[in-house]
Structure 1
């Protein structure tokens, strides 16, 4: 009886390692699915230089109405507690909304934000007129409408306006 219990124990212990190899449909070039599911890949461009920074000019979009309204339920206007960050290589960016506090903050800091090369994310925007008001507060800075919930979760923030740099989070 003891031998049977030990044999059962070792069988159960080794069972996961004794599974047969799985076969995936579409794994072989001669498989019947190949003519039906051809994957078209974009051509590889070997002319891109990896050491050169690539920047998209997002200010050329003429119609952003398709993305509006933008609402970030995890963020609201208010005061934040400044704190240090350790995120080497992070380019400065800021979060603003269409509220009066954000517009005043943006007007007061526009020159500083431009000098540091900060990008703007409008995380609370009702329509194109509101986006135009935000952009008018800092006309020389690119500000794009984006949902800020993921940023709020990752950086553990609840309020805006806020400036995020590689070394700090401040208002």
Structure 2
């Protein structure tokens, strides 16, 4: 009960003090403005309209040292964590021919492509022209080619395994 009365007195005391005005004890008249001591704020500059430029989000050449163009035997290895079919290609003649032959199948599967071996921007543009309707990402496949023991491309990787 004593605690309740104490808490009530403290609360009521604060309300009484809150509506009283401040009392000035001493004013020398020598006050200085605080503005020179604060950081200066500049006026906001109007934004100029800048047209976006296309930047490369990759660095050329793109290489996957553990992989090369060649034939791939079909392997039934379940990859349950693979959400979407993935295909790996390079800028070589074999990859271009494979992409032309498999284009409709890759579109139906909504497969995403990795361009794992390319030297120039012109080669990327040529492959993108062949891969119309497909998402193609220039990137190395080194991080998952070794664990899957993939040595050659072009290859299509799905939940059920990989094939050429």
TM-score grouping bracket, smaller chain normalisation: 0.5 to 0.7
| Structure 2: distance between partners of 1:89 and 1:76 | 25
Q: Hey, which bits of structure 1, 4+ residues long, moved more than 4 A? A: none
Aligned to 2:131: 138
Q: CA deviation digits over 1:20-67, x for unaligned, max 9?
A: xxxxxxxxxxxxxxxxxxxxxxxxxxxxxxxxxxxxxxxxx9332742
Question: TM-score scaled to structure 1, two decimals?
Answer: 0.62
Shift in Å, 1:88: 1.8
Give aligned pairs, total.
111
1:106 and 2:99 correspond: yes
Shift in Å, 1:144: 0.7
Shift in Å, 1:85: 1.6
Q: Structure 2 stretches of 5 or more lacking a match?
A: 1-52
1:149 and 2:145 correspond: no
| Structure 1: distance between partners of 2:70 and 2:153 | 6
Note if contact 1:65-1:127 (Cα within 8 Å) is conserved in structure 2. Answer: no
Aligned to 2:73: 81
Aligned to 1:6: none
Aligned to 2:9: none
Shift in Å, 1:124: 0.2
Q: CA deviation digits over 1:120-145, x for unaligned, max 9?
A: 00000111111111111111101111
Note if contact 1:95-1:120 (Cα within 8 Å) is conserved in structure 2. Answer: yes
Give the greater-gyration-radius structure (CA). 2
1:169 and 2:156 correspond: no
Q: Structure 1 stretches of 5 or more lacking a match?
A: 1-60
